[in-house]
Every structure is written in C-alpha cells, then in structure tokens.
Structure 1
Amino acid sequence: MITLIKKASSFKNRIAIKSNGQNYTYNQLLQQSEHVSACLLQGKEDLDQARIAFLVPASFSYVTVQWGIWRAGGIAVPLCEKHPLPSIKYVLDDTKATTVIYTEAFEKLLSPLFKSTHIQFIKYTDIKPKKCMLPTIILDRSALILYTSGTTGSPKGVVTTHANIEAQITALTTSWEWSKNDHVLNVLPLHHVHGIINMLSCALWSGACCEFLSKFDPKAIFDIFLKDEVNVFMAVPTIYFKLIYYFNELSNSEKAKISEHLSKFRLMVSGSAALPVSVLEEWKEISGHILLERYGMTEMGMAISNPYNGIRRPGHIGQPLHGVSIRLADENNKVVPDGTPGEIQIKGPNVFKEYWDKPEATSNSFTPDGWFQSGDIAIFDVDSYQILGRNSVDIIKSGGYKISALEIEEVLRTHPMIKDCGVVGIPDLEWGEIIGASIVLKSGELLVENLTSWITKKLPAYKTPRKYIFQEDLPRNVMGKVTKNEIKKLFT
C-alpha cells in the first residue's frame, strides 16, 4: 500500500488541508479521494498505470484527485494552470493520457479538446460519492509524471515511482524535522516537485497541515502569517524578492509587527533557483531567519541541503541529504578534487525511473556506472557545496575560461541602482562566448559607461560583461526561474 496514504489513517481527525476558507480533515481526504478512484475505475480492478492528467487549482480538490489517481493504480499527470492550450496538449499527447479531470475554471480553456481527441474529460463536480474495491499498489510502480521546465530544451516527462517519492519525502521530513504540529503555507504551483513533494507531501506524511493560497498576493501572505498558525514557509527567490519589496513600503509599526511574527517560524526555505545573497541578507533583517537553501531537480526531488540545525553559508547549498550519494565529476566522469569545479552527479533511491517514452534521453542522462548527470556545476568548498551554475546556460566559456554567470550576477546586484539582472554567454567567433547582462533598474537611468567603470573595479576583465541590455523585468517561467535562452535571443 502507498505509505503516504496509509499514514493518513493515523491522523483522521486532524486538519490536513486549508483552502478557500475551509478546513478539511485527513478522514475527508481519504473519503473524497476514494470517490475519485471509483469514478476513474468505473468497475475495473486497476487502472494499470494509465496516465490520468488533471487541471485543478491548488486546493483540497487537487489533493483528492492526486490521491484518487494513485489509489486507483494510475499515474498522476498534473497540468500547469498557467500554460496555454498548446502546452497542455503537448503533455496530453506526449503521455497518451486517457483521462483529464478538470474544474469549471478551466472548462473554456480545455473545450477545444473535448471533441477533437479520444481523451475522456471529467468535470470534478460530476464525481459522485461512491465506494469501491481498491487495487494493491506496489511501491516500484510509476506514480507521477512531471515535466521539466524546458529552460534548456523541449520539456521531458520525468517518471517517478511511489518508492522514489517515498525516498524524497523521508529524506526531507527527517532532515528538516517535520512533525504533526507543523503548518505550511503553500503558494507555489502544483505541477512541480517543490510544491508537490517539499511542502504538500511532506506535510501530509507528517500529519501536519498544508494551507493553500490560490493566488500570490504579498498582503494576503503577510495577513496569514500574522495569525500565528503557519510556522513553515518555502518559496522561490522571486517570491521572497516581492515580499521584501512589499514589506519595505509598509509603515514602521506594520513592519515591526510582521517581523515579530516571522521570528516565531520554525523553518524558512528557498529553492528552485539560485538565491541572491542580497535577498538572503535582507530577509534575515526582516524575519531573523537565514533562509535554508537546498538543491534539487524534477529528476530527483531534493539531494543536497543546508543543515536544519547548524551553520548555513550564504551562496552554498550544504551537504547531501540522508540516503543520497553525491560526487563532482569532470567531462570524462572522473571525480574531481575538493575545490575544483565539477558536474553534480547523484545516486540514490530518490532518483527518477525514466524520461517518459524517451529511452535514449534516459540512457544519456546516466553515466555507465549509474550516476545521474545533473548538468549543474559546483565546487566543494570547506564543508559544503556551492553552485556555480548550469553547464548549458550559467557556465560561460570565453577565451579559455569557464566563468560562472551566477558570480557576475551577485556582483551586479550590489550596484545601488540595479534591482535584478541575468547574465548569459553570447556566441562570438573570436572568444567562443562573450558576456552579456540584462539589467533591471530600480528607477532612473544608468549609463553603460558608468556601469562598466563600476564593475571593472569589482571583477577581473575576463569576467566583466561586454554587452548590456535594459529591461523592465527578466523573462521567467511559471516557477519564477529566469529563462536565459530568452535573454540570449535578445542579444543575438
């Protein structure tokens, strides 16, 4: 039996989910997810790993659909609420989904597909209370297909088993000391491992409460924080940046009140993108917390984390989580010595099963001796790992040097007029690549010659940008990650 769902029976009367102003117990979650299972099975004994897609907002309904699919023996394929129809159709076609469960809010979006495909579409409100015999699910069954963000190519479906998910959950609940007394506010989209595993599944595994806020709103987030119920918060750097900006516009009395409540939190985490040191330091001033940075991917959940108890070093991602093995390797998959940049490679029960229907891509992502190749470059510095960037977009190869775009971005963000930035490599016949920087200003105008003069005092010449563009904001995907290939196009 799926351990996550089995454990819910131990917490039947506890609040599992808060959404849309209502509380839902673990018992209600078990009952409603069984109704979803019965609707999907339609008298069959087992879905036999049929792909069931669903377009449901972050809510109690979302969780019941996810659990209902799993309990019926299907593979859950969560769709992104913010994706246009062609992106949704790509996932449906790629997974060969047999069924889509949706809520009324997405009926108009999906309606062009109702008669043009052989997919069965089920509106959530049409699911009736019904009990059924549920199949026995073994842990090595495929459970979930999540799609990569596509920042470096076409999105691929990452298949994880129930055993993979269990390993990902237990690594985090152990390392971050989750308990049934925790209450997490989940403001992230639920088609991504950050929201699904790190928050929702870890909370439900522990008997804790997961509260959903359907739409990002800094005021609403702070208002919830002031109730003194939430004690765990996780977000991407973009969200922390927006919360800081909102906080700085408040009166001194409002700031003091919020800071007092934030100081009572047990844990605050940042992930899914590199956390600028400037954001970490400003949030520490506001909340009294040093954000816990961690490292993971769709293909493995979380693999490396700063300690829950212990020193967290800005710009570092910490040490391997329990049960996860990490090594840094060169282009020939040979382990590099400490202090030398290398690709992060991972082994462990948390690592995904395969890319859906892409055996060659799956094979190419592992070394001959079974290590998953992340494509991310890091160094081991003193006692923890430090990310230098993604090999394809964050490591710039110029004039024989390998240069970290993230390092240059950290320096640029210290300029008093710069709000944010994105650094990329631009193809160049002479140098291989030259450095380009997209700049977002706080206000006013900044002359390129003045910026060039300033940064040459901060970085060696081979690390200084040769070209600049100025934008109102950086291009991002739905998780807040900067899409650097889009920035590259602006230069080329």
Structure 2
Amino acid sequence: MANLTKMMLYFQKNAQKFGESTALLSGTQSYSYSRLINHAENVAGILLGNQSDLNQSPVAYMVEPGFSYVSSQWGIWLAGGIAVPVALAHPLESIKYILQDTGAKTFICSANFTSLLSDFCREAGVRLIVWEEMPQSNPISLPEVQLDRGAMILYTSGTTSLPKGVLSTHLCIESQIKSLVEAWKYSANDHTLCVLPLHHIHGIINVISATLYVGGKVEFLAQFSAEEIFARFNQGALNVFMAVPTIYFKLIAYLESLDEIKRQELKTCMQAFRLMISGSAALPVSVMEKWETLSGQRLLERYGMTEIGMAISNPYEGERKAGHVGMPLPSVQVRLVDEANKPIQNEAGEIQIKGPTVFKEYWGKAVATKEAFTEDGWFKTGDVAELVDGYYRILGRNSTDIIKSGGYKLSALEIEEVLRTHSSVEDCSVVGLPDEEWGEIVAAVVVLKSNTSSDELNTFMRSKMPAYRVPRKYLFLSELPRNAMGKVTKNDLKVLFT
C-alpha cells in the first residue's frame, strides 16, 4: 500500500475521516471508505510504476459503475493524473477520438472491454490495464497534488461540432461539491442511488462526489430498470434520488401500470425521501406535476453544464417553481446579457457564469477556450433565460431552442410545454427550420399516445397562443432521438423535414 503524503486532497482527507463507514453498495457487496482509499492508493501505485508523479498526464478509464469506477478515478488523482472517464456504450471510433484528443497513453478498463480495446491500444502504444487483473503495487510515496492542477476531462456532446474536452481542476471540482453540499444539505445520513452514466458531470459530481464528500452512501444499479429502482426504494434505506426527465417519464409510466394499492405503497415510501432532483435536460411541467401526484415529492430542478457544474437551483427549502431553474448557487455569479454582450435586466438574455466552479479550458483548444469567455472572465453558456421574481427561467439554447421567425425570438421550450398539454400528445420537440421569407419557421416532432392529426393539433395550438408561434409543420415519430443524458438531439430532427 502507498504511503500518503502530508498534503492530502479533499477526498483523501474525508475517506480517512469516515474510515469503516460504508461508502459504496454494489450488488451484494459493500465497501468502506478505508477499503476504497486503500484500493485507490494501489491503483495509483500501478499507474506510477517507477515515476514519482504523472504530472497531469491524462488517464482514460472505462469500468462499470461502483467500486471499480470510484477507485480508478481516485487512483488516477492520487498519482497526479487527469481522469478521463469513457462511456460504457461508446463505439470504438468514439473511444479512439477521446484517446487521440487527450493523448492518453494509459487506459484502465474492465475485463469485458478488453476484446474491444486490446488491438487498438497495442497498435497505438497505449498501456491497457485490466482492472480485475491489477496486482498489488509496491509501497510508494504519492505526489503532492496542488488544487490548481488538472483533475478531469469530460467531453461535450458534440451536437454542433466535434466533442471538446472540458478540463476541470481539483479546485473547480471541490468548489462544485462544496456549493452543492451547502445548497442541498448533504449529510452523512444520505443514501443515494446512482442510475446515471458516469462520463457526465451529473452522476460524477452531484451523485457520487458530493455524497462521498460528507460521508454518505452511494448505491449502484448496473442497468436501468424501473422495477428494480422501485424495489430499492421500497427497502426504505434510500433518501436521495437524482435523475433526468426521461427517467422520471419512464418511472411514471411504470407507476401508472400498477394497481392502486401498490402505487400507494410506493408513494408512502417515496414521501419519506429527503430530496429528489431532476436535471441535465428541461423538466416538462407536466412531468413535474404528475411525479408530485404519484410520489408526494416536489422535484428540485436545477441548471448546469459540463463547463460550469451546477450554477442555478431551485431552493432546498422554499418554493420550487415549475418551469424555472431557480437562483444562483453559493459561490456562483450569474448575469444575463444581450447580443452585444452587455448586462441586461427585465428581459431575456444569454446566461453567463463566473466563479471558482467554472472549468479551466477546453483541452488543446486555445481558440475555442478564448471564444468561450468574455474579456472580463465570464463564461458564455449559449443558453437564454429570463429572470422572473428572482427565479431564472430557461427559454432554450441559442443554437437550437431559440427560433428567430419574422422578427420574433421564440422559445421552443415554451411551445413544447403547450403542445404537451394536448390529450393525445405523449412527448414532443420543437425546432426551427430555415425559411427564405421568415428566416425560420416553427416545426414540431410529436410522439402520440392516441390518434390525432396535424390539423387538429394546429387548431388546438392556435387556441392557446398567437399564430406566429404555432408550428407550421408536424412530423409524427414513435420516439424522439436522445443522447445519453436524455436530451433530445434536435439537429437529428431537423434533417427529417428535408
């Protein structure tokens, strides 16, 4: 086992403090904080070999959620490396892109991924370490890792260009954690269930890192199953749950398939939870209201992104407004600006963020990094919002959700909310299509739960909003295309109209 240096990172200090308390539960196994940090030290020793410090070298890892994931991540950090989590569902070409873009020369993987990775890693000169086959490392002194050093690279979704690697420092990560711990009142009594992919900030920071920071427990589910999630709920140990709107949508569908006695039993169980949160995509008001009816829980909606962590949140104590993402989190500065980049009030504008939670740079992309910030250091999110009675309300993303038609700026999200109130609409997504006369026209892609026509939808929408906001084209699909975090990939929808 490695010997810890006098200077310890935040997770090292806390793991030692919480000792034999349970940190992780996966399947039938439980793992203490002591066992977790000890194994992380062993991983660090394997990574270091004869080196004294990885000196911020990127190390990729592709392992199952649970003990192997957290110990790999912590081991990379203890060795002075930059952790690069890779999605379990990524095809080889996407993995190649990440390895080539980061320049990672070491890759930790679970044994069941070796057949996918071994040939490429051998040809590319990448050291492949199979997690299950790691030997016991020799005792070694761990490097001192300052908080301003690089800690993690997460990749953007790449919907409009090639994915960019978002580099966060240890200071950035700890600042994100501390902000959430203060705002959402994490404690050692928290026991949360992780059902989110772990190449995204939602699962990594909000679920795992913040919970472990205070000595709580994180339980893992190998793959999504509504039945299994409710079985875990019914055991009575869980008290915190975080998910994306798509998951809540599926959980609602499952609950509605049960008889009244079973639904009431689960509602009684869920009412005892301390907190339930939704994020990573806009939460439809209809989903929020239906979940509250079925669970007794008013979901807390928040706003964040890979580059900034969580920035805005409805209050833990206080009114959680449907259709709004709330107020700035501790240590986060928020402002709205116009197209000339000037701060504005009482009108919609782009959200800009400043503070210690903001990422350092796009990996290897100095020009993109410079373009992402204002001259005085504000990060340009590209998301448009308005401030109403102290609560921010997201109107959409400049590039995909703000439709410029006939001189109007229309929020696709607002039009979607109205369309979802039609009794035949299961789900929908609104996009802007290029048009010579109008600049863009409004189009809607709709998933139906009962038969209706575009003419009927058009009549309904015209009764609910001005004509210039009503979709001019409709397309019906069996389901909407989404990325790993449940966001609709709107660019995929636009091409369906051509």
TM-score, length-scaled by structure 1: 0.99
Report the secondary structure of 2:426's partner residue. strand
Report the alpha carbon displacement of residue 111 of structure 1 after superposing the two structures with TM.
Answer: 3.1
Contact 1:428 1:434 in 2 (8 A): yes
- In structure 2, the partner of 1:242 is 250
Report the alpha carbon displacement of residue 123 of structure 1 after superposing the two structures with TM.
Answer: 0.6
Listed as ranges, the matches of 1:79-478 within 5 Å are: 79-130=86-137, 131-338=139-346, 340-443=347-450, 445-478=451-484
2:30 corresponds to 1:30: no
Residues 425-446 of structure 1 deviation map (CA, whole Å, 9 limit, x = unaligned) = 0011111100111100114x32
Query: 5+ unaligned residues in a row in structure 1: which ranges?
Result: none
Residue 10 of structure 1 aligns with an amino acid whose one-letter code is: K
- In structure 2, the partner of 1:486 is 492
Report the secondary structure of 2:124's partner residue. coil
Residue 385 of structure 2 aligns with an amino acid whose one-letter code is: A
Moved more, 274-283 or 106-115: 106-115
Report the alpha carbon displacement of residue 126 of structure 1 after superposing the two structures with TM.
Answer: 1.8
- In structure 1, the partner of 2:3 is none
Contact 2:118 2:128 in 1 (8 A): no
Q: Matches of 2:173 and 2:127 in 1, distance apart? A: 27
Report the alpha carbon displacement of residue 114 of structure 1 after superposing the two structures with TM.
Answer: 3.1
Report the alpha carbon displacement of residue 153 of structure 1 after superposing the two structures with TM.
Answer: 2.3
Q: Matches of 2:147 and 2:131 in 1, distance apart? A: 27
- In structure 1, the partner of 2:4 is none
Residue 452 of structure 2 aligns with an amino acid whose one-letter code is: L
Report the alpha carbon displacement of residue 132 of structure 1 after superposing the two structures with TM.
Answer: 2.1
Residues 332-386 of structure 1 deviation map (CA, whole Å, 9 limit, x = unaligned) = 1111112x00000010000000000000000000011110000000000012100
Q: Matches of 1:152 and 1:21 in 2, distance apart? A: 42
Q: Matches of 1:337 and 1:31 in 2, distance apart? A: 52
- In structure 1, the partner of 2:69 is 62
Report the secondary structure of 2:122's partner residue. coil
Residue 473 of structure 1 aligns with an amino acid whose one-letter code is: E
Query: 5+ unaligned residues in a row in structure 2: which ranges?
Result: 1-7
Residue 426 of structure 1 aligns with an amino acid whose one-letter code is: L
Report the alpha carbon displacement of residue 293 of structure 1 after superposing the two structures with TM.
Answer: 0.5
Contact 1:270 1:293 in 2 (8 A): yes
Report the alpha carbon displacement of residue 112 of structure 1 after superposing the two structures with TM.
Answer: 3.5
Report the alpha carbon displacement of residue 11 of structure 1 after superposing the two structures with TM.
Answer: 0.3
Report the secondary structure of 2:464's partner residue. coil
Report the alpha carbon displacement of residue 69 of structure 1 after superposing the two structures with TM.
Answer: 0.1
2:22 corresponds to 1:15: yes
Residue 459 of structure 1 aligns with an amino acid whose one-letter code is: M
2:13 corresponds to 1:3: no
Residue 357 of structure 1 aligns with an amino acid whose one-letter code is: G
Residue 134 of structure 1 aligns with an amino acid whose one-letter code is: L
Q: Matches of 2:429 and 2:240 in 1, distance apart? A: 30
Moved more, 144-153 or 370-379: 144-153
Contact 1:32 1:129 in 2 (8 A): no
- In structure 1, the partner of 2:53 is 46
Q: Matches of 2:69 and 2:391 in 1, distance apart? A: 37
Q: Matches of 2:116 and 2:426 in 1, distance apart? A: 35
Moved more, 108-117 or 365-374: 108-117
Report the alpha carbon displacement of residue 222 of structure 1 after superposing the two structures with TM.
Answer: 0.1
Report the secondary structure of 2:463's partner residue. coil
Contact 1:7 1:205 in 2 (8 A): yes
Report the alpha carbon displacement of residue 115 of structure 1 after superposing the two structures with TM.
Answer: 2.6
Q: Matches of 1:134 and 1:288 in 2, distance apart? A: 48
Report the secondary structure of 2:53's partner residue. coil
Report the alpha carbon displacement of residue 154 of structure 1 after superposing the two structures with TM.
Answer: 1.7
Q: Matches of 1:250 and 1:88 in 2, distance apart? A: 41
Contact 1:346 1:374 in 2 (8 A): yes
Report the secondary structure of 1:57's partner residue. coil
Give the % identical residues. 54
Q: CA RMSD in A?
A: 0.8
Contact 1:188 1:195 in 2 (8 A): yes
Report the alpha carbon displacement of residue 104 of structure 1 after superposing the two structures with TM.
Answer: 1.4
Number of aligned residue pairs: 490
Contact 1:296 1:303 in 2 (8 A): yes
Contact 1:183 1:210 in 2 (8 A): yes
Q: Matches of 2:207 and 2:254 in 1, distance apart? A: 24
Report the secondary structure of 1:344's partner residue. strand
Residue 80 of structure 2 aligns with an amino acid whose one-letter code is: G
TM-score, length-scaled by structure 2: 0.97
Contact 1:34 1:132 in 2 (8 A): no
Q: Matches of 1:21 and 1:463 in 2, distance apart? A: 53
1:244–1:135 distance in 2 versus 1, CA, 3 Å: same
Moved more, 329-338 or 25-34: 329-338
Residue 477 of structure 2 aligns with an amino acid whose one-letter code is: Q
Report the alpha carbon displacement of residue 43 of structure 1 after superposing the two structures with TM.
Answer: 2.0
Q: Matches of 1:330 and 1:405 in 2, distance apart? A: 19
Q: Matches of 1:257 and 1:382 in 2, distance apart? A: 37
Contact 2:301 2:314 in 1 (8 A): yes
